[in-house]
């Protein structure tokens, strides 16, 4: 049917869709001017770069939907990796904070040192909270897809392909009727010429018959064009409503992802703030490190005797 359709394509038809002649193209207005709407820019088929098959404009839109879903999935995967790094970092910090290095340091310096080590555990806590919020508020929502997405896309695909197939079939019928009419007209012409050469009641009868057949072929063609028009108008309507639906889904997807990426940056800022606050007590204790006081404490605890030696008497 496709080959027949292509062979029969008339000047204004491309792949069985009738477009206006170039002269009348400028008379068409966009359905949604200034919106770059899907419903205005995907009427023609696209040549497949690999050669053989053409891709319909609607299929281009469907592929965008599938790609969008894949991108969303990959973003979730990326966030998962970010979570993993954060968890590992927290684990490393927590482990390090428990290593007893320099645990015997004393006095105000010892206190500051202990606080510094503890701050690592606090920081680890901050990073763990960040990772768990990333999971619940960014990764998980990104992994929620519209229910029945793939099924719906397939339904769209089949529906539009069926309408195109019907259009192709009816286009072929039009071409057949067109050819049939041409044949009938040629036949009628031939018989009329015969009558000019030789008047005969048999030929007159033949002409009557031929004229009737020609008229019938003309009616046939009208009927076929009518059916074709109906098909194309149905396809047109479905193209508009379906592409607008896909457009709505894409807007929804972009907005949803944007919202969750904003949540990522909010959480990240928060982490910096909490993270900073784990350091503050360390700074405070470092400011009160006092070598004199530490010496006093240490001496008091470890002194071995304050009686000084004196000179020997004879
Ligand atoms: C693809 O479309 C072009 C018109 O744009 C047509 O000439 C060509 O034959 C089509 N190819 C197939 C395989 O349908
Ligand atoms: C955690 O520590 C391990 C080994 O101690 C190291 O290989 C890894 O890079 C560290 N990870 C992070 C996120 O700091
Ligand atoms: C087909 O559609 C065109 C454009 O709408 C219209 O002018 C024409 O009358 C229709 N032809 C038939 C046979 O219905
Ligand atoms: C906070 O966390 C980052 C890593 O996410 C780290 O480089 C930084 O040293 C931490 N501490 C402070 C006080 O910002």
pLDDT of residue 8: 37
Within a domain: residue 296?
no
Q: What is the mean pLDDT of residues 60-81?
A: 97
Within a domain: residue 40?
no
Give the separation between CA 22 and CA 27, rounded to whole angstroms: 10
Within a domain: residue 45?
no
Closest ligand 1 atom to residue 52 Cα is 13
Closest ligand 4 atom to residue 279 Cα is 13
Question: Lowest-confidence range among 12-26, 137-151, 172-186, 287-301?
Answer: 12-26
Q: How many whole angstroms from 93 Cα to the centroid of ligand 2? A: 9
- Tell me which residue has its CA closest to atom 12 in ligand 2: 89
pLDDT of residue 12: 60
pLDDT of residue 23: 65
- Tell me which residue has its CA closest to atom 12 in ligand 3: 226
- Tell me which residue has its CA closest to atom 10 in ligand 3: 226
- pLDDT tens for 151-167 read 999 999 999 999 999 99
Within a domain: residue 219?
yes
pLDDT of residue 100: 95
Tell me which residues have their CB closer than 6 angstroms to ligand 1: 6, 14-15, 45, 47, 52-54
CB-based contact 56:235 (threshold 8 Å): no
pLDDT of residue 204: 87
219 Cβ below 6 A of ligand 3: no
Question: Lowest-confidence range among 14-23, 113-122, 222-231, 286-295?
Answer: 14-23
Q: Which domain holds residue 200?
A: 59-245+252-291
Q: What is the mean pLDDT of residues 46-61?
A: 86
- Tell me which residue has its CA closest to atom 14 in ligand 4: 276
Q: How many whole angstroms from 211 Cα to the centroid of ligand 3? A: 24
Report residue 147's pLDDT band, with 50, 70 and 90 as the boundaries.
confident
Within a domain: residue 286?
yes
Instruction: Give the ligand with the smallest distance to the CA of 123.
Output: 4
pTM attached to this predicted model = 0.82
Q: What is the mean pLDDT of residues 133-155?
A: 94
Those residues with Cβ within 8 angstroms of residue 104's Cβ, 6 or more apart along the chain or in another chain: 110
Count of domains for the chain:
1
Q: How many whole angstroms from 89 Cα to the centroid of ligand 1? A: 57
Within a domain: residue 155?
yes
Question: Lowest-confidence range among 49-53, 150-154, 250-254, 277-281?
Answer: 49-53
Within a domain: residue 314?
no
Q: How many whole angstroms from 279 Cα to the centroid of ligand 4? A: 9
Within a domain: residue 49?
no
Specify the CATH number for the domain of residue 107: 1.20.1270.60
275 Cβ below 6 A of ligand 4: yes
Question: Lowest-confidence range among 7-21, 106-120, 149-163, 166-180?
Answer: 7-21
pLDDT of residue 24: 66
Of 64, 44, 56, nearest in space to 165 by CA: 56
């Amino acid at each position: 049917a496709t080959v027949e359709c292509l062979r029969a394509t008339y000047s204004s038809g491309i792949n069985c869709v009738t477009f206006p002649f170039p002269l009348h193209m400028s008379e068409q207005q966009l359905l949604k001017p200034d919106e770059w709407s899907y419903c205005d820019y995907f009427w023609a088929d696209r040549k497949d770069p690999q050669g053989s098959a053409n891709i319909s404009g609607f299929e281009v839109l469907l592929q965008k939907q599938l790609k969008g879903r894949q991108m969303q999935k990959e973003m979730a995967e990326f966030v998962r990796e970010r979570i993993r790094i954060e968890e590992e970092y927290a684990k490393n910090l927590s482990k390090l904070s428990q290593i007893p290095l320099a645990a015997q340091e004393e006095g105000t310096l010892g206190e500051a040192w202990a606080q510094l080590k503890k701050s690592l555990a606090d920081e680890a806590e901050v990073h763990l909270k960040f990772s768990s919020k990333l999971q619940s508020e960014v990764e998980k929502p990104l992994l929620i897809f519209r229910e029945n997405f793939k099924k719906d896309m397939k339904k769209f695909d089949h529906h539009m392909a069926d309408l195109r197939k019907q259009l192709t079939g009816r286009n072929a019928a039009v071409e057949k009727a067109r050819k049939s009419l041409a044949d009938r007209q040629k036949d009628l012409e031939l018989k009329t010429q015969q009558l000019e050469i030789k008047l005969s009641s048999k030929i007159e009868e033949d002409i009557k018959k031929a004229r009737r057949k020609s008229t019938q072929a003309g009616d046939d063609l009208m009927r076929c064009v009518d059916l074709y028009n109906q098909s194309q108008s149905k396809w047109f309507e479905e193209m508009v409503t379906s592409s607008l639906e896909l457009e709505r889904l894409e807007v929804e997807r972009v907005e949803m992802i944007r919202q969750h990426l904003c949540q990522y940056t909010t959480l990240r800022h928060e982490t910096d703030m909490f993270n900073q606050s784990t350091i503050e007590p360390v700074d405070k204790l470092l400011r009160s490190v006092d070598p004199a006081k530490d010496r006093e404490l240490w001496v008091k605890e470890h002194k071995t005797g304050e009686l000084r030696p004196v000179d020997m008497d004879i």
